[in-house]
Amino acid sequence: MGQGPPEEQLKQLLAGLGIFLVVYFIYLVVLLATLIYYLITMSSALRQVSPDNRAMEPGLVFLGLIPCFMMVWSFVIAGRVSRSLEKEYQQRGLEGDGDFGWSIGLFASVFLIVTPLWIILGLLHARKVRRYLRMLEVARPPAELPQPTGYEEED
């Protein structure tokens, strides 16, 4: 700590605390922005998948915004999004890498408690899922997919 009168030491301490708080605030903004981008990407992926192939509804990914719940929910999101993409690719006759983002999603979920590393892995997982989305968009429009049956009203 600095030398000098107690008033000077207090000023130095407050300046250091102020710098810490600014850096921490920036870190939280980056974390929240990454989380929102990640959740939007996962929800978009599920919306691109036909309802019959979805392992979860797109809106459910946003449960990840509940504090501390994301530590468990991220595993569910990673597994169900990859499963949904795999089913959609099979139905459309497309080839994927067989992984559909599961491994990077799993690593991102494991490292969620080490948040700076999760930011990197979460972005990599979202990037990989976005590549699958682009392939789905150019492969065959969703309107050409067979519509689910069994929902017709009976007279």
With contact defined as beta carbons under 8 Å apart, do 16 and 104 qualify? no
Q: What is the pLDDT along the chain (155 residues), one digit of tens a residue?
A: 556 688 888 888 888 888 988 998 998 898 889 899 999 999 999 999 999 999 999 999 999 998 788 888 999 999 999 999 999 999 988 888 778 989 988 888 887 776 777 778 888 888 888 888 888 888 766 555 555 554 444 44
Q: Where are the domains of the chain?
A: 38-138
Alpha-carbon radius of gyration of the chain? 22
Q: What is the token pair recorded at 133?
A: 């989305």
Residue 111 confidence (pLDDT): 79
Helix (H, G, I), strand (E, B) or coil at 15: helix
CA distance linking residue 129 with residue 142, whole number of Å? 17
The pTM of this model reads 0.73
Cα(103)–Cα(98) distance, integer angstroms: 10
Q: How many CA atoms within 13 Å lie on the side-chain side of 18?
A: 6
Cα–Cα distance list, 39 to 15, 73, 77, 91, 94 (Å): 36, 11, 9, 25, 25
